[in-house]
Amino acid sequence: MASRATTPRISAVFCSARCILRDSDIDLDTAPEKWVLVPATLEAVRSLASDFRLLVLFDATAEGLAKDSHKALDVIIEQVEGAGGRVDATISCASVDVPTWGEIPWALWQTADVLSLEPERCYLLADEQEDVKAAYAVGIRPIMVMGERNITELMGPRPTHKDFPVATELTSALSYIATEDEMTNLLGRVRQIETPQPPEETAPIEIASAQFLRLTSSKARDFQSRLNKSKTQLHDLTRWLAFFVLGAAGLSLGIAYLLTHLYRVQPFPDFVYYLTLQFIPRIWRGVLFVAWGLGIILLALRSYFRTSGFRLPKRK
């Protein structure tokens, strides 16, 4: 079967920092300055990020990997970048005083919103059951990375979810992602379609979003800058269009009143009868002029899009 041609979309891999440390057989209780990632781990992490995929590193536990969770993540980022890789953003829930993970993962919802990600196109490399719960709550496809542990030790005798892949190390997780991406290209869509929505109440994490989420690569910052520019352009366009329509309506009414007055007090030559379409019933004349006005507005918008390079921001 030939694959269907599709336009690449930005997605993301959310990777637990603990998965990376376990992959290099690093004791999680070791001080961050003593962490040394092995080449196989660095190569796997390097492959997680690409031109159309962001890599988001997270430390989701309340206690964090270290006293300063952000600095602990920076140790991993420095080694990944030294090996030619890229980490685009980090999530640290240890620095936030409200729940952000598990069954109500505000941190994931907010990150997906900030980066305009479609959760069903993203993956989450999980280290524990809470990571899997968070992925399912948002609609992200989870992959459990076991390391030296067994699945019963990780998920318990009665896991909340069972239909997700399990990898022994990061390299195996990469193979699963590649297979899923190939399947998506063949189908022309992701296999998981439904995306859960966050609760309607205001997220408490919105106030502290700057604390848990950091953009750590120029690619992620440029991407967010373009998204913000598109949103600003959309707001400007909406405001401009509203004023334009109101102004055009006022102008049309004014012209209509003037023509009505002139019809009543001033005789016109015979050709005006045909020029103003008097031979067409009024209701159809109205429909005709409304369609004509809408066509002119659409042409104006098309010209605006072409000259400004405006693109609607993608939303899930």
- What pLDDT, on the 0 to 100 scale, is given for residue 4? 40
Given a cut of 90, is residue 93 above it in pLDDT?
A: no
| CA–CA separation, 288 and 273 (whole Å) | 16
pLDDT tens-place string over residues 238-272: 776 677 677 777 777 777 777 677 667 767 677 76
Pull the structure tokens for residue 93.
Answer: 């829930």
Given a cut of 80, is residue 45 above it in pLDDT?
A: yes
Give Cα 75 distance to the centre of its chain.
Answer: 27
Given a cut of 50, is residue 6 above it in pLDDT?
A: no
- Could you tell me if 103 and 60 are in contact, meaning their C-beta atoms sit under 8 angstroms apart? no
User: How far lies 293's CA from each of 162, 289, 290, 297, in Å?
Assistant: 57, 6, 5, 6
- What pLDDT, on the 0 to 100 scale, is given for residue 200? 66
- What pLDDT, on the 0 to 100 scale, is given for residue 42? 96
Determine which of 33-47, 59-73, 197-211, 271-285 has the lowest per-residue pLDDT on average: 197-211
- Could you tell me if 51 and 93 are in contact, meaning their C-beta atoms sit under 8 angstroms apart? no
- What pLDDT, on the 0 to 100 scale, is given for residue 55? 96
- What pLDDT, on the 0 to 100 scale, is given for residue 252? 73
Angle ∠(107,113,301) on CA atoms, nearest 5: 175
| CA–CA separation, 143 and 15 (whole Å) | 10
Residues 279-300, mean pLDDT to the nearest whole number: 79
- Could you tell me if 45 and 78 are in contact, meaning their C-beta atoms sit under 8 angstroms apart? no
Q: For residues 98, 103, 107 and 113, what is the CA-based torsion angle, rounded to 10 degrees?
A: -130
Residue by residue, DSSP assigns 235-272 as HHHHHHHHHHHHHHHHHHHHHHHHHHHHHHHS---THH
User: How far lies 11's CA from each of 53, 88, 92, 111, 118, in Å?
Assistant: 5, 12, 20, 12, 7
For the question of whether the overall pTM of this predicted structure is more than 0.85, the answer is no
| Strand 53-59 to 213-215 pairing | unpaired
> Which parts of 266-311 fold into alpha helices (H)?
271-275, 282-308
pLDDT tens-place string over residues 131-176: 999 999 999 999 999 988 887 777 777 767 777 899 999 999 999 9
Secondary structure (3-state) at 68: coil
**Higher per-residue confidence, 185 vs 211:** 185
- What pLDDT, on the 0 to 100 scale, is given for residue 107? 86
pLDDT tens-place string over residues 59-87: 988 777 877 888 899 999 999 999 999 99
Residue tagged 């305009």 (tokens): 116
**Backbone dihedral region of 190: left (phi > 0), alpha (psi from -120 to 50 degrees) or beta?**
beta
Q: Helix, strand, coil shares of the chain as percentages rounded to 5?
A: 55, 10, 35
Pull the structure tokens for residue 298.
Answer: 């659409």
Percent above pLDDT 70 for the chain: 78
- Could you tell me if 46 and 85 are in contact, meaning their C-beta atoms sit under 8 angstroms apart? yes
Given a cut of 70, is residue 236 above it in pLDDT?
A: no
Residues 10-25, mean pLDDT to the nearest whole number: 94
